[in-house]
Structure formats: structure tokens, C-alpha cells
Amino acid sequence: MRRFLVRHILIGLAIACVVAPNGSDLNAQTADALFREIKLALFDNDWQKALASARRLQSDYPDYARIAEAAFYEAQALASLDRNVEALAKYERVADESQGLNRARLEAARLSVIDLSVKLYLNGDRSYLDRAMRYLDGRDKALRYFSALKISYISDKGVCGKAVPVLKEILRSEEDEELRNRASIALLRCDPKLAQDPDLNAVRSSRRGPNRSIRVVVIEEGVEVAKLNLPLSLARAISQLIPDEARRELRREGIDPENLVEELMRMRDILEVKTQDGLLRIWIE
């Protein structure tokens, strides 16, 4: 009887060892559950939960197969919480330690490095700008273009001017109309006097035809210093090029700079705005 019981106990233990998951299987299941939790939290815009889950996954399961994606999602959560310095640092690590990330996420991480670097610069911390500037000379066209477009929002002409060659490259070589239009506006943000640039003139002439256009002339000390002619499809972007003083003058006249096209079509006349530095003329033809 004793021999019978011992035999069945041993068989039961053997079956249990085969059926029961081992420690590594349990770890994988827990890690998978955590990873699903991160993605669900991001989908629900629950950034705090996504951040906590992503950090726990990286801390507790460093050998998890999708650990690089968890790091990417941590950076996403940090950026969504406006913890931009931390998000930038995380995105940089993700971009540098690219193993385990697909190409789309790797490029998204690098685009985020550019975006956050410029954002931090515009918020007053200039020490981060080099992260975006280095992509201006890079081999990746998408990153080069994106960095130039972002840097064009910086008012410092010395900084913004470094983006001008890449913006001109877009105008010369790209067929995509929206991209060329964005480059046109970015070029003019850097310096309105670049409106006379041959590359920009080529863009304008290629877009002429039966469509109406908006004209902008800047006069300083009686001299015409800049002239702009863009299709109405770009007209809403014109408000970005109007100096702050001129925008204030427009508002004093009861004109909303953000709805300039509608105002001009209603007026059917040349709109003149006097500023301390000169005169701004805008009309539709």
C-alpha cells in the first residue's frame, strides 16, 4: 500500500512539473500584461498610468522582448505630461539605442527630439537647440526637412538663417505642393526680404494661373523692401508673417489678422497698415 501511494505521489509531482508554468513563463505573461496596460493607458490618454507601467516594465523585466517599445512609450507619456526635459532625454536614449525598434518608431523618436529641442529653446532654454541643429546636415531627408521647418519659428535671424539652405532645397527639389508651400512660408518667416529669392519666385510662378493670389508689399523709408505674391491657398499663413506691431494696428482697425483673406475680399481694396518702421500693403488680385 505504501509503495502504491509513493508511486502515485511521484507521478502527480511529475505531471505538475510538466503542466505548471515555470518562472520564466510567468514573467513573460506578467510583462505582456504590463505592455498591454501601457498601450491601453495611452489610448485612454491616461499618461500617468502609462508612464508608471512603462517604467515598471523596464525596471522589473529588463530582458523583455519589447523593452525598447516600452521606453518609447515612456517618452510619449512624459511629453504628453509636458515634462519636456525628461521626454527629450528619453527620446534621445531611444534614438541612440535603436535595437528593438522598427524604423517608424525610430524616426518618430528622432522627430520628437527635434520638436522638443526647438520647443525648449522657444521657452527660454537655449542649451537644447544643438539637438535639432545637428539634423540640418544629416543624410535623412525627412529629419533634415523637419528640423529646418521647426527652426524657422525661431526669431533669431542668425539661428533661423541656418535653416534657409534646407528650405531652398525643398523648393528646388520637392514635387509635393504642400511641402513646398510650407517651405515658402518658413523661408519668409526667417526673413521677409527673401521674398525676392529666385527659388521662391519659381514656386510662385509655377502656382500662377487662373487662381487668385494675395499680394503683400513692405515699404520702409519710402523704399519697397519686400514683395510677396502667394496663392490664396496659402493666405491663412500670411498672418504668421505680419509683424506684431502691424497685427496690433490691424486689430485697432477692427480687422482680425487670422481672418485676413475674408476681410480683404469684403473690402475689395488695398489694405494699408502703418507701423513705426514703415508701411504694409496687402491686397487680393
The 3-state DSSP composition of the chain as helix, strand, coil percent (nearest 5) reads 70, 10, 20
Q: How many CB atoms are located within 10 Å of the residue 61 CB?
A: 19
Q: What is the pLDDT of residue 9?
A: 45
pLDDT, tens only, 126-166: 899 999 999 999 888 999 999 999 999 898 889 999 999 99
- Residue 193 CA: distances (Å) to CA of 150, 179, 224, 227, 283: 20, 21, 10, 8, 18
pTM: 0.67
Enumerate the domain spans of the chain: 208-285
DSSP state of 248: H
**Residues 206-225: tens digit of each pLDDT:** 544 445 676 777 776 666 65
Tell me: pLDDT of 19 over 50.
no
> Which of 95-99, 191-195, 236-240 is least confident?
236-240
Crossing angle between the packed helical segments 198-207 and 177-190, to the nearest 10 degrees = 140
List the beta bridge partners of residue 229: 215
Rounded Cα distance, 25 and 30, in Å? 9
Segment (H or E) for 215: strand 213-220
Instruction: Please give the mean pLDDT across all residues of the chain.
Output: 78
C-alpha cell at 78: 512624459
